[in-house]
Structure 1
Amino acid sequence: MTLLTYQVFKTVADHGSFRKAADILGLTPSAISHAISSMENELGFSVLNRSKSGVTLTNYGENLLPYVNAVLNSDESLWQAIAEFNGLKKGKVKVGCFSSICTSWLPDIMNSFKKKYPDIMIEVFQGTYDDVSYWLKNGVVDIGFLSVSSAGDIPIEPLYKDKLVCVVPKGLFDKNTDEVMHISELRNHQFVTQRESTDADIQNFLKENSLNVQSNYHVVDDLSTIALVANGFGICLMPELVMRDIPYEVDCYQIEPDAYRIVGIATMNSDFMAPAVRTMYNHIIKNYKNI
């Protein structure tokens, strides 16, 4: 099998369509189909399910994809190393991040990085903690932002301690926003919660303080959570990073006991990063580590 075969397989897997893969790679749909069929004949098993609704990975294809990603990433690393030997900073870095990093940190990181390394491309993947962990383990992204508690067995470099605050509808509590909110004051309130894959640190804090919250609202993104709180459907806990430039009128209180999440940058093996990836990884640690 050739690198083109691997590229065809990955592109079809990513987009679920022979036609879309053909458009992206500049090939004909029949060439895409022929490449996949030849690959399956050589492997001795099917890697894709074909149907009228689209194309999906077989179980064999699912298990094969991380290895194909590794081969393609190794090829990219090789050409980046060659460019580096020639005194050039080129290549591509694929970055995974969760919502509040994408809105509050990533634009500044990308702008400062592009000023120094204009020929290195950056590709961004936004998702939940679970998404970023999956992308790192399967070679979809090179580096990813996670909280330390959500990283599990993935090596992570801590960058920033992000305090958790209590967010409530405007005027709900008769106190100034510079006052502290004690955990006991929250026990009888309806909560708006997010899934554990999105706010594992908050879920951990609630469990550690025996706060069995009542919630009828289980959302994924930060802005939806704040919107529901602003409109009186409950209260929530939220990292301070999220609360920057929020377009809703709410009150925020520091929490007692003190609570926070630690945000970090993760990669599967920091000793074997491609040159462009290593350059961005070091740029982030040098310029954005504050812990």
Structure 2
Amino acid sequence: MNANHINHKLMKDNHMNFSQLQCFVALVETGSFTEAAYTLDLTQSTVSHALAALESELGVTLLERNRKGVVALTTIGHSIIPHVRALLVQAEAIEQEAKAAHGQTSGKLRLGTVLSLCPDVLASVLTRFRTSYPDMEVVLFEGTMQEVSEWIESSIIDVGFVFHSACRIESTLITTDELCVLVPPGHGFHAKTAVTPRELREEGLIMAKAGCASQLMEMAGFEPSRARPQVRYQASDSATILAMVREGLGITLMPRMMLPKKLEGVIALPLDPPQPLPIGLAVRSQAMASPGAKLFVQTALTWAQEQASLLPRAR
């Protein structure tokens, strides 16, 4: 049985239900029956029976289980999970649209954000969204820039913060950050007012392990076709990277919004020329986005416009 046949069966079979599909997706995302049951507020027995019923209906094994209860997708499971996710996303959008027709705003919004990227923006927009739409449940997904983009394309999330125009998906510009160079006080750059790409090429860098590190280096002037930058160390957490810079193990590149409000033992310098980082909100399809996703983007835009209107008065 191929994936197209199964997808047709998903749409046609009367015995199949969304609860079974939700259990299947929850098992894939959590990797265990215990966590899936907790996520869905069901018993493990219910989740197990739902998966067994789904596999029986389709006539295939979707997940492999080991003795510890950890699950992993089979080959055919990998083939159909994108279709199942897309089906559930559309079902959620249909429900939200129907409620909106009666003046109601409720449902689930799955929001993706890059680790430590613009945390103040995220918190401010989330606060406003929750105040305006208290019946919308927001589920937050944190990952690398690459992961957020992949989650949008595979319908794992409804909307996500990305570098505007830097990804393959269409995004709406929300705000603009600035790329900075972080150095310890005794570094040769500490007395400079800005750092050029040529000067950066002579330095040892400490960068994030995955995600947007390569994008940040390209924005700073490192051309992929030329000599590779000297990346001495890679770390997952921004606090760890800053601590390593503080100890003189290298320098790093970070968006200004990622920096702690009180920067101790590290100096932040702009690039010359300055390198703006446009931050946007992306959805898989503007036309097919759920009402909740559209409302979140509109809430973020309104917030950004209000912040921009305050700038002249702050000077």
TM-score normalised over the length of structure 2: 0.83
Please state how far the C-alpha of 1:149 moved relative to its aligned partner: 5.3
2:211, 2:251 → 1: CA distance? 19
Partner secondary structure for residue 83 of structure 2: helix
Q: Among residues 63, 66, 76, which one is paired with 1:48 in the alignment?
A: 63
Partners of 1:193 and 1:20 in 2: CA distance: 32
| Deviation of the 1:282 alpha carbon | 1.3
Query: Which residue of 66, 77, 82 corresponds with 1:61?
Result: 77
* Correspondences of 1:238-249 after superposition (within 5 Å): 238-249=254-265
Once the two structures are overlaid, the 10-residue window that deviates more, 126-135 or 203-212, is 203-212
Q: Which amino acid aligns with 2:26?
A: T
Q: How far did 1:62 drift?
A: 2.0
Deviations 1:148-173 (A, max 9, x none): 35412x11122333221111002323
Q: Among residues 109, 112, 127, which one is paired with 2:143 in the alignment?
A: 127
Q: Which residue of 2 aligns with 1:105?
A: 121
Which residue of structure 2 lines up, in the alignment, with residue 32 of structure 1?
A: 47
Structure-1 residue corresponding to 2:103:
87
Q: Report whether the alignment pairs 1:8 with 2:44.
A: no
Answer yes or no: is the 8 Å Cα contact 1:15–1:21 preserved in 2: yes
Q: Which has the higher strand share?
A: 1
Alignment of 1:1-291 (within 5 A): 1-53=16-68, 54-101=70-117, 103-148=119-164, 150-152=166-168, 154-173=169-188, 176=191, 179-195=193-209, 197-205=211-219, 206-208=221-223, 210=226, 212-288=228-304
Letter in 1 for 2:128: S
- 1:229-282 Cα shifts (integer Å, max 9, x gaps): 011111112211122415532112121233232211100111122222211121
Q: Distance in 2 between matches of 1:181 and 1:247?
A: 19
d(CA) in 1 for partners of 2:214, 2:165: 7
Q: Tell whether the 8 Å contact from 2:115 to 2:142 is kept in structure 1 after alignment.
A: yes
Closer, same or farther in 2 for the Cα pair 1:188/1:237, shift >3 Å?
same
Two-structure CA RMSD over aligned residues (Å): 2.3
Return the letter of the residue paired with 1:194: A
Q: Structure 2 regions of 5+ residues with no counterpart?
A: 1-15, 309-315
Q: Is the 8 A contact 1:160 1:263 kept in 2?
A: yes
Identical pairs, percent: 27
Distance change (3 Å), C-alpha of 1:33 and 1:121: closer
Indicate if the aligned counterparts of 1:104 and 1:244 stay in contact, CA closer than 8 A.
no
| Contact 1:169 1:230 (C-alpha < 8 Å) held by counterparts | yes
Query: What is the deviation of 1:95?
Result: 0.6
AA at the equivalent of 1:249: G
The alignment of Structure 1 onto Structure 2 pairs a total of residues equal to 288
Letter in 2 for 1:37: A
The 1:138/1:174 distance shift into structure 2, 3 A limit, reads: closer
Deviations 1:76-133 (A, max 9, x none): 2222122212212212211101123362211111111122112212111111011101
Tell me the distance in 1 between the aligned counterparts of 2:117 and 2:203.
Answer: 29
The ranges of structure 1 where at least 4 consecutive aligned residues each deviate by more than 6 angstroms after the TM superposition are none
Alpha-carbon shift at residue 208 of structure 1 (Å): 2.7
Is the Cα–Cα contact under 8 Å of residues 149 and 201 in structure 1 kept in the other structure? Answer: no
Distance 1:197 1:174 in 2: 27
The amino acid of 2:242's aligned partner reads I
Question: Relative to structure 1, is the Cα distance of residues 174 and 6 closer, same or farther in structure 2, using a 3 angstrom cutoff?
Answer: closer
